[in-house]
């Protein structure tokens, strides 16, 4: 991993970078890729492309090309971290300034123990997207996520926050 500073980025950051700038970002920063980044990219597969050039697949493929892959790690969802800590399988105090990655498998060779890390589902998805391979399952997930976002009643949320929950 790069000895440079750690970086969290969002989709709009990658959209603003050229391929060369994205390569420099990957070279000089340790990037933590959040689950929300993947959700935003999936949602773009179902997005209407009125003002933008190209198809949704081209947009997500372009994002995948710019996504850091050498000096990055996909962080697990915060609910998985919470479940692990509450169940006693994980101690949040033992991991400092590093991403929480999934897919680890404990291995032993003689008296030595280690951890074998395999690519997470999210990391494999970015690799597929870079090849313009968009699965139907990912499209369905993107459609459901967009519909869920559209059903959020922001006015009701605002009222609840200002006045408190109904009694």
pLDDT in tens, 42-69: 777 766 656 667 777 788 888 888 888 8
Q: Output the pLDDT for position 166.
A: 67
Rounded CA separation 167/25 (Å): 51
Q: What are 162's two structure tokens?
A: 């200002």
Stretches where the chain sits below pLDDT 70 are: 1-3, 46-52, 96-97, 134-141, 165-167
pTM, 2 dp: 0.62
Q: Output the pLDDT for position 18.
A: 93
Q: What are 17's two structure tokens?
A: 């970078």
| First CA to last CA distance, the chain | 52
b/e code 85-95 from CB counts within 10 Å (16+ = b):
eeeeeeeeeee
Of 76, 84, 79, nearest to 122 by C-alpha is 76
Q: Output the pLDDT for position 72.
A: 82
């Amino acid at each position: 991993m790069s000895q440079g500073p750690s970086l969290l980025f969002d989709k709009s950051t990658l959209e603003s970078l050229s391929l060369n700038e994205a390569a420099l970002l990957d070279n000089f920063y340790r990037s933590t890729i959040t689950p929300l980044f993947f959700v935003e990219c999936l949602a773009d597969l179902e997005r209407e492309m009125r003002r933008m050039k190209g198809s949704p697949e081209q947009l997500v493929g372009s994002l995948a090309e710019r996504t850091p892959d050498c000096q990055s790690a996909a962080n697990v969802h915060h609910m998985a971290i919470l479940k692990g800590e509450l169940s006693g399988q994980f101690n949040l105090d033992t991991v400092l300034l590093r991403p929480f990655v999934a897919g680890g498998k404990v291995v032993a060779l003689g008296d030595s123990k280690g951890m074998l890390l395999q690519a997470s589902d999210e990391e494999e998805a970015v690799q597929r997207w870079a090849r313009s391979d968009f699965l139907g399952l990912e499209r369905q997930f993107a459609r459901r996520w967009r519909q869920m976002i559209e059903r959020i009643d922001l006015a009701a949320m605002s009222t609840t926050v200002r006045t408190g929950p109904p009694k």
